[in-house]
Amino acid sequence: TLAKARERGADPFLVAGDLFEDNQVDESLVRSVVDRFRASAPLPIYLLPGNHDPDTGPDSVWERPAFRAVPSHVHVLRRAGVHELAPGVVLLASPLHQKLSTHDPSLKLAELSSGLGADVIKIGMTHGSPAIESRHQANDFPIALNAASRAGLDYLALGHWHSWMADLDGGRMVMPGTPEPDRFQADGAGRGAWVEGSGPQGALRVEPLEVASLHWRSAEFDLASVEASQATLDGLISGWRAAADRTVVRVTLGGMADPAELGRVRSWVDAALASFLVGQCVDQSRVMLSAAERAEMRARHPVLAGVLADIDRLESLATGTFPGAQAGLVPAVASDAEGALSLVDAKALLGPARIE
Convert the pLDDT of each residue in 198-250 to its tens digit. 889 999 999 999 999 999 999 999 999 999 999 999 999 999 999 999 999 99
pLDDT-based confidence at 19, cuts 50/70/90?
very high
Q: Residues 6 or more apart from 126 whose CB is under 8 A from it?
A: 16, 17, 48, 93, 94, 95, 105, 106, 108, 109, 143, 147, 156, 157, 158, 159
Q: What pLDDT is stored for residue 85 in this prediction?
A: 96
**Quick one: what percent of the chain has pLDDT higher than 70?**
90
Instruction: Report the greatest alpha carbon distance in the chain.
Output: 86
Q: Is the pLDDT of residue 91 over 90?
A: yes
Question: What pLDDT, in 10s, does the model give residues 270-315?
Answer: 999 999 999 999 999 987 777 777 778 778 888 888 887 777 777 7
According to the per-residue pLDDT averaged within each range, which of 155-169, 177-191, 288-302 is highest?
155-169
Q: Is the pLDDT of residue 326 over 50?
A: no
Other Cβ atoms within 10 Å of 316 Cβ, number: 25
Q: What pLDDT is stored for residue 332 in this prediction?
A: 43
Q: What pLDDT is stored for residue 306 in this prediction?
A: 80
pLDDT-based confidence at 193, cuts 50/70/90?
very high
d(C-alpha 231, C-alpha 308), whole Å: 34
17: left (phi over 0), alpha (psi -120 to 50) or beta: left
Q: Is the pLDDT of residue 330 over 50?
A: no
Mean pLDDT of the chain: 89
For 50-73, give one letter per residue: b (16+ CB within 10 A) or e.
Answer: bbbbbbbeeebbbebebbeebeeb
Q: Is the pLDDT of residue 179 over 50?
A: yes
CA 247 to chain centroid = 17
Question: What's the half-sphere exposure (Cβ side, CA atoms, 13 Å) at 117?
Answer: 5
Strand partners, 101: 140
Q: What pLDDT is stored for residue 78 in this prediction?
A: 97
Q: Is 105 helix (H, G, I), strand (E, B) or coil?
A: coil
Asked whether the bond before 42 is cis by omega within 30 degrees of 0, the reply is: yes
Residue with the larger pLDDT of the pair 316 and 67: 67
* pTM > 0.85: yes or no: no
Burial status of residue 235 (CB atoms within 10 A of its CB: 0-12, 13-18, 19 or more): exposed
Helices 259-273 and 226-240 pack at an angle, to 10 degrees, of 10
Helices 343-353 and 302-319 pack at an angle, to 10 degrees, of 160
Cβ contact 129:165 at 8 Å: no
Cβ contact 29:43 at 8 Å: no
